[in-house]
């Protein structure tokens, strides 16, 4: 059974790969996120926006299980991640990939070894096949072949992002989290990265959860946009729907000077 | 709603019609089962057939790993002069095959490590050059430290007083309990061992001479220096190294700060003040430990111990020990700061440099202690 095509359940739309209900996360007294609901549909590219400090990264880290939550449920691939055995948890780990904001490549391994880490950890593959797959992923993300044996400290910012994406894709995951993938890239590099994400979605059947501040990305590749504010998801919808939503921040963001320049 | 991860075994069945062989693929051809799948395909390229059809119509799931295995097989067949074609896959996999075709990894040239005598000689050569570079680096840092310190002494406002105090606190004050305890125990152990043997000759009293001379001249300062090398030397390397990793040192250069003046001078100054004080504390604690053991083990009262100590040693014995402390502090500080500045981009290099710093510092402290012993013997004190 291909999980991406056939899955039905009452109450949920078909094949939501990620379902968050009533999530509350906080540090100290004030909650950063409160009673937050979110659905991510299979095969879509969801762009996540919100002012600095509204908790976009906090939400992603809570979903990934890197931050404790106070209440709420998180279901990934239909599995409640709080009530699973270690083995099931490992399986979920094989089915998602994460691109951290700073890349988070292992500094003492080469790019090729970095891409092979998930393969080594979860699977037993012959060495030659791992090398071939690593090179394939490397090229797929647009890195030149000679970067395979470079160390992360020898890479430029854009190359670090691509290498990190290649590692996130090592096991052909179904769901990929991208934390500001185009920040720190030049406009041409950022546009290439957007194309790449769209192309990978078509090629590998990915579902993409992308935190971004880049209006271009939102406009060109995202199927749906979610806005985070007031400790919850304010609104989700297409770029067009954002334009008509009445909220001061959303209005300023999507109807501002920069946004108008993109649409023109 | 539940979307389980179903893993179906990959399968291949072959059927031959005349000179055409049809390979029917079924099951999951994904990275999770890639090792199995690769084994299934081993040897297929060697079978005798004029043309081969790779039929994917029964495949339940396919990802880059599976697609690559199929493409690789087709290429291997074509390379042997057979005609081979992939067909029957779902239209949704077309972009995947296009991408895999476009980015095929070709032969991987593995740079094998060289072996044999030449490689051995090369290694020795490299090590020798490294030792020379290390020595040059150390002298360079010593020079920068000297010029930085003299600049600070000429113009006292350039001395970063708060930084010096902070590092004095870190390397000196907080080390007092552990150094006092360790020296107390060592003093006690030396006294007990000495007493055990000297008592056989009725020379109990000379335990005080033994402990006094040994602790004040050698043990007190040496153990303190080793402890400080492990404690503060490693901290210096790790601090400076992680700053180097995160480009903070580059930022200092750009802003116009001199990293050696900001980082090395305060640390070294603080350590050179702290180590003699710590060595003195170590001496006192060791003598106290020895006094306690002598009292318990030999029945030598504290008063008798002190009187005997006054006869056995003079102030010069103490000075000989303490005078070594600033030199040892300088060595520990220089080595650990130099190693910290050598840290490259990776976490592994930080760990390696820290290890190297501690090992080198302890080794050099012992070497210098030996040189001091030779020197003092030569001038008859």
DSSP secondary structure, B105-161, as one string:
-------PPP-SHHHHHHHHHHHHHHHHHHHHHHHHHHHHHHHHHHHHHHSGGGS-H
For residue A198, which of A228, A167, A219 has the smallest C-alpha distance? Answer: A219
Q: Cα–Cα distance between B316 and B278 in angstroms, integer? A: 18
CA Rg value for chain A: 19
Total structural domains within chain A: 1
* A85 within some domain: no
Chain A interface mutation, best of B2, B3, B39, B62, highest count of A Cβ atoms under 10 Å: B3
SS3 B239: helix
Bridge-based pairing of strands A175-179 and A96-99 is parallel
Dmax over Cα atoms in chain A, in whole Å?
56
For residue B226, which of B268, B178, B297 has the smallest C-alpha distance? Answer: B178
Bridge-based pairing of strands A207-211 and A175-179 is parallel
The answer to whether the CB atoms of B64 and A136 lie below 8 A apart is: yes
Which residue would you say has higher pLDDT here, B378 or A220? B378
* B147 within some domain: no
pLDDT tens, residue by residue, B113-156: 667 888 889 899 999 998 898 889 888 888 988 888 888 888 77
Structural contact between residues A89 and A141, judged by C-beta atoms closer than 8 angstroms: no
| The last residue of a domain, from among B63, B84, B102 | B102
DSSP secondary structure, B161-227, as one string:
HHHHHHHHHHHTGGGHHHHHHHHHHHHHHHHHHHHHHHGGGT-TTHHHHHHHHHIIIIIHHHHHHHH
Let me know whether B52 and B164 are in one domain: no
- Sign of the CA dihedral running B48, B51, B56, B62: positive
Which pLDDT does position A2 carry in this prediction?
40
Chain B interface mutation, best of A136, A153, A165, highest count of B Cβ atoms under 10 Å: A136
Q: Cα–Cα distance between A144 and A158 in angstroms, integer? A: 12
Neighbours of B192 (CB within 10 A): 17
Name the one residue in this structure whose structure tokens are 């710093």: B357
* A15 within some domain: no
Let me know whether B75 and B180 are in one domain: no
The answer to whether the CB atoms of A203 and B108 lie below 8 A apart is: no
SS3 B11: strand
The answer to whether the CB atoms of A136 and B68 lie below 8 A apart is: yes
ipTM for the predicted complex comes to 0.70
Domain interval for residue B98: 11-102
The token pair that represents B41 in the structure block: 């395909």
Which residue would you say has higher pLDDT here, B238 or B33? B238
User: Buried b / exposed e across A102-115, counting CB within 10 Å, b at 16+?
Assistant: ebbbebbbbbbbbb
Which residue would you say has higher pLDDT here, B21 or A261? B21
What is the average pLDDT across B83-99? Answer: 79
- Helix pair angle (B234-245, B248-255), 10° resolution: 70
Which pLDDT does position B109 carry in this prediction?
54
Residues contacting A101, CB < 8 A, separation 6+: A57, A179, A180, A183
* B109 within some domain: no
Q: Cα–Cα distance between B253 and B249 in angstroms, integer? A: 6
SS3 B15: strand
Let me know whether B94 and B169 are in one domain: no
Chain A interface mutation, best of B2, B65, B67, highest count of A Cβ atoms under 10 Å: B65
Let me know whether B86 and B178 are in one domain: no
Which pLDDT does position B2 carry in this prediction?
43
The answer to whether the CB atoms of B95 and A199 lie below 8 A apart is: yes
CA distances from B117 to A221, B111, B113, B120 (A): 58, 18, 13, 5
Which residue would you say has higher pLDDT here, B58 or B227? B227
Bridge-based pairing of strands A45-49 and A71-76 is unpaired
CATH code for position A129: 3.40.50.300
Decide if B219 touches A, using CB distance below 8 A: no
Let me know whether B164 and B85 are in one domain: no
Which of chain A's residues have a Cβ under 8 Å away from the Cβ of B344? 153
* A70 within some domain: no
Q: Cα–Cα distance between B355 and B234 in angstroms, integer? A: 7
Q: Which of B81-85, B296-300, B313-317, B336-340 has the lowest mean pLDDT?
A: B81-85
Q: Cα–Cα distance between B358 and B238 in angstroms, integer? A: 11
Give the distance from CA B340 to its chain's centroid.
11
Let me know whether B78 and B170 are in one domain: no
The answer to whether the CB atoms of B1 and A9 lie below 8 A apart is: yes
Q: pLDDT tens, position by position, for chain A (264 residues)?
A: 344 333 333 334 457 888 888 888 888 777 888 888 888 888 888 888 887 778 888 888 888 888 888 888 888 887 787 777 777 777 787 788 888 888 788 877 888 888 888 888 777 788 888 888 888 888 888 888 888 888 888 888 788 888 888 888 888 888 888 888 887 778 887 888 888 888 888 877 888 888 888 777 788 888 888 888 878 887 888 877 877 777 888 777 777 766 666 666
Q: Cα–Cα distance between B264 and B375 in angstroms, integer? A: 29
End-to-end Cα spacing for chain B:
87
Q: Cα–Cα distance between A126 and B266 in angstroms, integer? A: 53
Mean pLDDT of chain B: 86
* B155 within some domain: no
Dmax over Cα atoms in chain B, in whole Å?
111
| The last residue of a domain, from among B52, B76, B102 | B102
Neighbours of A150 (CB within 10 A): 16
Let me know whether B314 and B194 are in one domain: yes
The token pair that represents A134 in the structure block: 């690593």
Residues contacting A169, CB < 8 A, separation 6+: A97, A137, A140, A141, A176, A200, A204
Let me know whether B346 and B239 are in one domain: yes
Neighbours of A141 (CB within 10 A): 23
* A91 within some domain: no
* B234 within some domain: yes
**Which of B64, B92, B105 is closest, CB to CB, to A172?**
B64
Domain interval for residue A240: 43-65+96-263
Residues contacting B218, CB < 8 A, separation 6+: B321, B369, B373
* B149 within some domain: no
Q: How far is A76 from chain B (nearest CA, A)?
A: 9
* B145 within some domain: no
* B132 within some domain: no
Let me know whether B318 and B190 are in one domain: yes
Which pLDDT does position B1 carry in this prediction?
37
The answer to whether the CB atoms of A16 and B31 lie below 8 A apart is: no
The token pair that represents A70 in the structure block: 């106070």
For residue B29, which of B61, B71, B68 has the smallest C-alpha distance? Answer: B61
The token pair that represents B135 in the structure block: 């020595």
Which pLDDT does position A62 carry in this prediction?
85
Which of chain B's residues have a Cβ under 8 Å away from the Cβ of A3? 3-6
* A157 within some domain: yes
β-pair partners for B108? none
* A258 within some domain: yes
* A26 within some domain: no
Q: Cα–Cα distance between B365 and B358 in angstroms, integer? A: 11
pLDDT tens, residue by residue, B345-362: 777 888 999 999 999 999
Let me know whether B193 and B77 are in one domain: no
Total structural domains within chain B: 2
SS3 B93: helix
Residues contacting A87, CB < 8 A, separation 6+: none
Q: How many CB pairs under 8 A join A and B?
A: 114
For residue A214, which of A258, A255, A252, A245 has the smallest C-alpha distance? Answer: A258
The token pair that represents B371 in the structure block: 């040189």
For chain B, helix, strand, coil in percent to 5 are: 75, 10, 15
DSSP secondary structure, chain A, as one string:
--TTT----TTS-TTEEEEEEEEEEESSSSEEEEEEEEEEETT-EEEEE--TTSSHHHHHHHHTTSS--SEEEEEETTEETTS--HHHHHHHHHHEEEE-TT----TTS-HHHHHHHHHHHH----HHHHHHHHHHHHHHTT--GGGTT--GGGS-HHHHHHHHHHHHTTT--SEEEEESTTTTS-HHHHHHHHHHHHHHHHHH--EEEEE---HHHHHHT-SEEEEEETTEEEEEE-HHHHHH---HHHHHHHSSHHHHHHH-
* A248 within some domain: yes
């Amino acid at each position: 059974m291909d999980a991406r095509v056939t899955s039905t359940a009452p109450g949920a739309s078909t094949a939501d790969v990620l379902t968050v209900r009533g999530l509350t996360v906080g540090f100290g007294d004030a909650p950063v996120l409160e009673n937050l609901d979110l659905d991510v549909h299979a095969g879509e590219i969801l762009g996540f926006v919100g002012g600095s400090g509204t908790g976009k990264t906090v939400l992603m880290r809570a979903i990934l299980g890197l931050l404790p939550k106070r209440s709420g449920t998180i279901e990934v691939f239909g599995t409640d991640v709080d009530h699973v055995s270690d083995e099931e948890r490992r399986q979920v780990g094989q089915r998602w990939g994460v691109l951290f904001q700073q890349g988070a490549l292992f500094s003492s391994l080469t790019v090729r070894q970095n891409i092979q880490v998930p393969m080594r950890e979860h699977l037993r593959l012959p060495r030659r096949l791992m090398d071939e797959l690593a090179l394939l992923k490397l090229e797929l993300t647009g890195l030149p072949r000679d970067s395979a044996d470079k160390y992360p400290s020898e890479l430029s910012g854009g190359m670090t992002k691509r290498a990190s994406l290649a590692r996130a894709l090592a096991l052909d995951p179904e769901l990929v989290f991208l934390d500001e993938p185009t920040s720190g890239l030049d406009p041409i590099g950022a546009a290439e990265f957007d194309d790449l994400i769209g192309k990978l979605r078509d090629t590998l059947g990915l579902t993409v959860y992308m935190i971004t501040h880049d209006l271009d990305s939102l406009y060109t590749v995202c199927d749906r946009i979610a806005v985070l504010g007031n400790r919850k998801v304010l609104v989700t919808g297409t770029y067009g729907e954002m334009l008509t939503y009445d909220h001061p921040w959303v209005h300023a963001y999507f109807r501002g000077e920069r946004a108008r320049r993109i649409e023109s | 709603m539940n979307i389980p991860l179903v893993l179906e075994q990959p399968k291949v069945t072959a059927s031959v019609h005349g000179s055409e062989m049809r390979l029917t693929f079924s099951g999951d051809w994904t990275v999770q089962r890639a090792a199995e799948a690769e084994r299934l395909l081993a040897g297929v390229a060697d079978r005798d057939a004029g043309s081969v059809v790779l039929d994917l119509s029964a495949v339940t799931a396919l990802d880059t790993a599976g697609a690559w295995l199929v493409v690789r097989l087709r290429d291997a067949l074509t390379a042997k002069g057979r005609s081979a074609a992939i067909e029957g896959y779902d239209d949704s996999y077309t972009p995947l095959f296009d991408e895999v075709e476009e980015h095929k990894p070709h032969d991987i040239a593995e740079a094998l490590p060289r072996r044999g005598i030449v490689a051995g000689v090369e290694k020795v050569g490299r090590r020798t050059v490294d030792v020379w570079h290390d020595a040059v680096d150390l002298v360079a840092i010593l020079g920068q430290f000297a010029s930085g310190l003299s600049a600070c002494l000429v113009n006292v406002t350039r001395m970063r007083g708060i930084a010096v105090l902070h590092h004095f606190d870190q390397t000196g004050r907080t080390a007092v309990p552990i150094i006092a305890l360790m020296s107390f125990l060592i003093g006690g152990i030396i006294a007990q061992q000495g007493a055990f043997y000297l008592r056989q000759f009725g020379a109990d009293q000379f335990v005080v001479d033994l402990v006094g001379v040994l602790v004040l001249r050698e043990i007190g300062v040496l153990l303190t220096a080793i402890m400080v090398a492990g404690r503060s030397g490693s901290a210096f390397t790790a601090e400076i190294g992680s700053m180097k990793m995160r480009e903070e040192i580059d930022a200092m250069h750009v802003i116009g700060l001199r990293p050696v003046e900001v980082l090395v001078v305060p640390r070294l100054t603080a350590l050179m003040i702290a180590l003699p004080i710590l060595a003195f504390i170590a001496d006192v604690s060791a003598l106290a430990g020895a006094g306690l053991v002598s009292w318990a083990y030999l029945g030598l009262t504290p008063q008798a111990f002190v009187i005997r100590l006054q006869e056995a040693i003079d102030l010069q014995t103490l000075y000989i020990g303490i005078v070594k402390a600033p030199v040892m502090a300088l060595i520990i500080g220089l080595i650990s700061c130099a190693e910290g500045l050598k840290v490259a981009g990776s976490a592994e290099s930080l760990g390696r440099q820290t290890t190297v710093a501690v090992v080198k510092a302890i080794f050099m402290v012992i070497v210098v202690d030996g040189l001091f012993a030779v020197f003092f013997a030569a001038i008859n004190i």
